[in-house]
Structure 1
Amino acid sequence: MSLVHLLLRHATLHPERPAILYGTEHWVSYGQWTARSAGLAQRMQAAGLVPGDRVLIFMRNQPRYLEILWAAWWAGLVVVPVNAKLHPREVEWIAADAQARWAFVTHDVAVAPLAGLERQIDVESDACDELLAPVSDALAVPVVERDPNDLAWLFYTSGTTGRPKGVMLTHRNLMTMGLTYFIDVDPVAAVDAIVYAAPMSHGAGLYAIPHVMAGARHVIPASGGVEPVELFELGWQVGPLSTFAAPTIVKRLVDHAEHHGIDTSRSAQAFKTIVYGGAPMYAADIRRALQVMGPRFVQIYGQGETPMVATALSRAQLSDTTHPRWLERIASVGVAQTPVQLRVADAEGQPLPTGEVGEVLVKGDSVMAGYWNNPSATAAAVRDGWLFTGDTGCLDADGFLTLKDRSKDLIISGGSNIYPREVEEVLLTLPGVNEVAVVGTPDPEWGESVVAFVVLQPGASVTVDALDQHCLARMARFKRPKRYELVSELPKNNYGKVLKTALRERLRDAPTLPAA
């Protein structure tokens, strides 16, 4: 079954229902969306694209993203979504590796023709208008049927440690993710609206699937950005909204609400649900978010290799302050989502006892089909159906998973394991500290020593000695940082993840930071 049938269902039942909004303005109804996607599908097939061909989407968030996405699936094609902030050379490498034939772009991100493609279409051009011209009877346009195990979405990993790998996601993978949203994340109704405040090339775009399932509205901010003032205003005018956001964006929303005196009732009028994930959310930050904006948060944990589906920490669990282990639970990433099995394992994949730290493994219908043209990487990542995530964590007796770190971020000092997140959580409880990233650096005596990069809140005055004393009072001495670096900002990728590789490189290039 193709994902196109999700769209056809609502085009048949509710063709006049509003489907896509650009800011507060109506863009298309479900019937119009279907007619435009059907027209593009027909024209791509007429131009010689055949089922299984790859089509690259290199765009900022824009309403036509959704129209092109469903048109590609209608024609039996595979979508290759690309981060709009990548350098054109990086995009050309992805296009070549995926052997993409066409690319749909916005001219502000693709300022020149990309090499190696048969055709590049500016989605704001007259040529694209012609390609997307609606057909008179969309329901009569044949859908290229696909097997559930056929490829639908070829997603390239961030590639911070080398060339990115193409994650092969099937129609079954994406259908599983969409259905799971209703069970483990948030029920969706036709009156709901999702706002794309994060790049549609990643998890935010995939959440279009459950919202199409429900016949809900899809809102693209007119600015294409993630400014809190715009998101709150959109919510008050067309919401309340649901959205997926990295913890950095959640923090900006909370800062805005607090600074402007937006109480929990006004926050509820703007936002129904804020799903967060993609990077660590520290316990201190989610406690503050709940206090300022109220119980509208859900945490998910997943990877590109098991998109948005591994664990979830529900709204109810986050809000249950009376539970005796509430503080432990809000520092976790929740419990296994319905369609997957979860395991914390040793290097051979054997399960470890409750409370022991090991690698997080996931098994189920959300797990990728493998890496594109990379059988060795696939064999290393998926063994006996289990995805080896590369993340470390531990399970408690109730099945709540607490992540420690990526396995490559583990610090071993003097033979003892130190998990950076544990140190970061402690430092973030010191008033005046805004952000923290902890990494290891080579040490001739200890093997590695702990270094903390600290960003202070505006106007705050916190000394290195105060940071050190705070740590010594709250954790074992061997875990506390040996050095602290006060910095104005942390290096991050386009999705808000701190680039610890860049911090380690900074230490390597300038190893004489002031000692604590």
Structure 2
Amino acid sequence: MNIANWLADASDRWPTNPALLHGEVLVADYVGFRASARHTARLLVQRHGIQPGDRIAIFMNNTTNYLVLLYGIWWCGGIAVPINSKLHPAEAAEIVCDAEAQLVFTEDGVRFQEGTLPSGCTELSQEAIATLISSAGNNDFLKRPLLRSSDDLAWLFYTSGTTGRSKGVMLSHGNLTAMALCYAIDVQPITQDDAILYAAPMSHGAGLYNFVFVRSGAAHVVPESCGFDPNEVLRVSAAVRNISFFAAPTMIKRLVDAAERDGLRGDGIRSVIIGGAPMYVADLDRAIEILGPRFIQIYGQGESPMTITSVPKDAINDRSRPDWNRIASSVGYAQSCIELRVLSDDWVPVAPGVRGEVMVRGATVMQGYWHNEQATNETIVNGWLRTGDIGYLDPDGLLTLTDRSKDVVISGGSNIYPREVEEILASHPSVKEVAVTGQPDSEWGEVVVAFVVVQKAAYLSEATLTKWFVDRMASFKKPKRYVFLDELPKNGYGKVAKTALRALLAPAEAAEPDIRAHADRIN
């Protein structure tokens, strides 16, 4: 099943529905969206010889043409390779080469230096393709999307690379279909009256959420800034109405700051889907106080895109519940197509409340890593995806994440989970941002180091933070060192880059142990 059929069907059902908006300005209805995608597919085949299974990269800022290109690629059976526009062209060229892409679309057609793209790969500007589309005739070639099976690849999703070189996650039409259906069941239902705003990069989570909105005939709004500007988000949401959007916690904090400063309440925003990382409880509490009950927490990763767990909207926003802190600090319950386990180091399921590695399997789990059999075999074991995340399940099936497996600090033989340390420090009113990692130590093995960004015009000492911490958590978990920064380093998706922080403190990390030693325990 070709996921582009969803656009064709939406066009048949809601031809005049607003489809693509640039800010508040209508660019195309669903008939126009479909026509542009179909003409793109025709040009890809007739002018550039694209065949089913060929890879076409997109290295552009958010734009309505981004969606046109995606659906044009799928319409003719191609595989889309979206690349974060914030990457350096040299980094993007590595991805284009790894994917062996035949074409790469950029804003101006001159992003890459000569010789950096693979042999036979052509760079095209979005303006050039738009011009060709506008001059295209109308015939029956590729009137409907090319037939594809559910196992055929549709999206080659390159990981953010926070722990090393990015890998190409192979997502099929079936993976994307399952992800979109889980959204409608486990996140929120969508109708033709809804709209999605692309404030985060369309190359990743924000773009992956397009499918259920297309299937429902809803509107797709790309900000005039082509990215995230909190004031613009508030303004466009109030004008367009029923807006939902994906945002990392750092983006939400900026949105809340802007709303509070201007006395706004998020009018027109239906839902903010929190992803990339769980929000600290203190930040979520403030966000609900300022913007109201508009939040949904989801947990997923590129290897199971946007689809592992979710927290129901009515639960995460109801601060009167006696168990709200437990719910707010979690990432929710397994989504409909997912089986979830938490396993010990020797891959035995652990009891509720006991930490272990989160493992999942289901219809959204990737086909593997592109041209990387070793990494695939290390990550998918007997059908189970090793997420690399550490967490625990409570007796009700609620999952709480504590850290990435590489982030756990082992000090004096005790495991210390940075997330719980960060939660305590983040609750201090003068702390704007915090990230915790370990530093090698000859006596303790590792010690806890906290990187802290202080609120504007505030002052904090190490002694003040230490007292705040030991009044709320066991003393052995307290940071032994504080590093005060103007801001935390982040990757292009708003995630704190702990590899950059660790690089300031420690030599290269030890190699991973043989993870398949206990594979026979997974079934």
Q: Which residue does 1:434 correspond to in 2?
A: 432
Equivalences for residues 121-140 of structure 1 within 5 A: 121-125=124-128, 127-131=129-133, 133=135, 135-136=137-138
1:328-378 per-residue CA deviation (whole Å, 9 max, x = no partner) reads: 110000110111011111234331111100000111000000001111111
Rounded Cα–Cα distance in structure 2 between residues aligned with 1:262 and 1:35: 39
The question of 1:24 aligning with 2:48 is answered: no
- Deviation of 1:241 (Å): 1.0
- Deviation of 1:108 (Å): 8.8
Q: Which residue does 2:345 correspond to in 1?
A: 347
Rounded Cα–Cα distance in structure 2 between residues aligned with 1:37 and 1:494: 28
For residue 257 of structure 2, what is the amino acid of its counterpart? D
- Deviation of 1:320 (Å): 2.8
For residue 108 of structure 2, what is the amino acid of its counterpart? H
- Deviation of 1:14 (Å): 2.0
SS in structure 2 at match of 1:124: helix
- Deviation of 1:134 (Å): 5.4
- Deviation of 1:184 (Å): 0.7
- Deviation of 1:236 (Å): 1.2
> Is the 8 Å Cα contact of residues 90 and 112 (structure 2) preserved in structure 1?
no
Q: Which residue does 1:493 correspond to in 2?
A: 491
Tell me whether 233-242 or 208-217 shows the greater mean CA deviation: 233-242
SS in structure 2 at match of 1:178: helix
- Deviation of 1:132 (Å): 5.8
Q: Which residue does 2:222 correspond to in 1?
A: 220
SS in structure 2 at match of 1:507: coil
For residue 191 of structure 2, what is the amino acid of its counterpart? A
Rounded Cα–Cα distance in structure 2 between residues aligned with 1:132 and 1:89: 32
- Deviation of 1:129 (Å): 1.4
Rounded Cα–Cα distance in structure 2 between residues aligned with 1:405 and 1:484: 20
SS in structure 2 at match of 1:439: strand
Equivalences for residues 98-497 of structure 1 within 5 A: 98-107=99-108, 110=111, 112=113, 115-116=117-118, 117-125=120-128, 127-131=129-133, 133=135, 135-136=137-138, 141-263=143-265, 267=266, 269-497=267-495
SS in structure 2 at match of 1:291: helix
Rounded Cα–Cα distance in structure 1 between residues aligned with 2:11 and 2:135: 17
Q: Which residue does 1:513 correspond to in 2?
A: none
The question of 1:2 aligning with 2:5 is answered: no
- Deviation of 1:240 (Å): 3.0
SS in structure 2 at match of 1:323: coil
> Is the 8 Å Cα contact of residues 193 and 216 (structure 1) preserved in structure 2?
yes
- Deviation of 1:131 (Å): 4.2
For residue 84 of structure 1, what is the amino acid of its counterpart? S
Rounded Cα–Cα distance in structure 1 between residues aligned with 2:431 and 2:135: 53
> Is the 8 Å Cα contact of residues 8 and 144 (structure 2) preserved in structure 1?
no
Q: What RMSD in Å do the two structures reach over aligned CA positions? A: 1.6
Rounded Cα–Cα distance in structure 2 between residues aligned with 1:177 and 1:86: 26
For residue 214 of structure 1, what is the amino acid of its counterpart? S
SS in structure 1 at match of 2:345: coil
SS in structure 1 at match of 2:127: coil
Rounded Cα–Cα distance in structure 2 between residues aligned with 1:285 and 1:69: 35
- Deviation of 1:136 (Å): 3.0
Rounded Cα–Cα distance in structure 1 between residues aligned with 2:172 and 2:109: 30
For residue 168 of structure 2, what is the amino acid of its counterpart? G
Do the aligned partners of residues 71 and 85 (structure 1) sit closer, same or farther apart at CA in structure 2, a change above 3 Å counting?
Answer: same
- Deviation of 1:190 (Å): 0.4
Number of aligned residue pairs = 504
For residue 21 of structure 2, what is the amino acid of its counterpart? L
1:372-411 per-residue CA deviation (whole Å, 9 max, x = no partner) reads: 1111111111112110000000000111111010000000
Rounded Cα–Cα distance in structure 1 between residues aligned with 2:112 and 2:376: 35
Rounded Cα–Cα distance in structure 1 between residues aligned with 2:49 and 2:99: 18
Percent of pairs with identical residues: 48
Rounded Cα–Cα distance in structure 1 between residues aligned with 2:468 and 2:100: 53
SS in structure 2 at match of 1:258: helix
Rounded Cα–Cα distance in structure 2 between residues aligned with 1:142 and 1:259: 49
Rounded Cα–Cα distance in structure 1 between residues aligned with 2:339 and 2:135: 45
1:3-27 per-residue CA deviation (whole Å, 9 max, x = no partner) reads: 1110011211222211000111111
- Deviation of 1:72 (Å): 0.4
For residue 34 of structure 2, what is the amino acid of its counterpart? T
Rounded Cα–Cα distance in structure 2 between residues aligned with 1:205 and 1:109: 24
> Is the 8 Å Cα contact of residues 436 and 448 (structure 2) preserved in structure 1?
yes
Q: Which residue does 2:515 correspond to in 1?
A: none
SS in structure 2 at match of 1:234: helix
Rounded Cα–Cα distance in structure 2 between residues aligned with 1:292 and 1:428: 18
Rounded Cα–Cα distance in structure 2 between residues aligned with 1:109 and 1:215: 35
> Is the 8 Å Cα contact of residues 2 and 148 (structure 1) preserved in structure 2?
yes
Rounded Cα–Cα distance in structure 2 between residues aligned with 1:322 and 1:343: 30
Q: TM-score, normalised by structure 1?
A: 0.95
Do the aligned partners of residues 68 and 132 (structure 1) sit closer, same or farther apart at CA in structure 2, a change above 3 Å counting?
Answer: farther
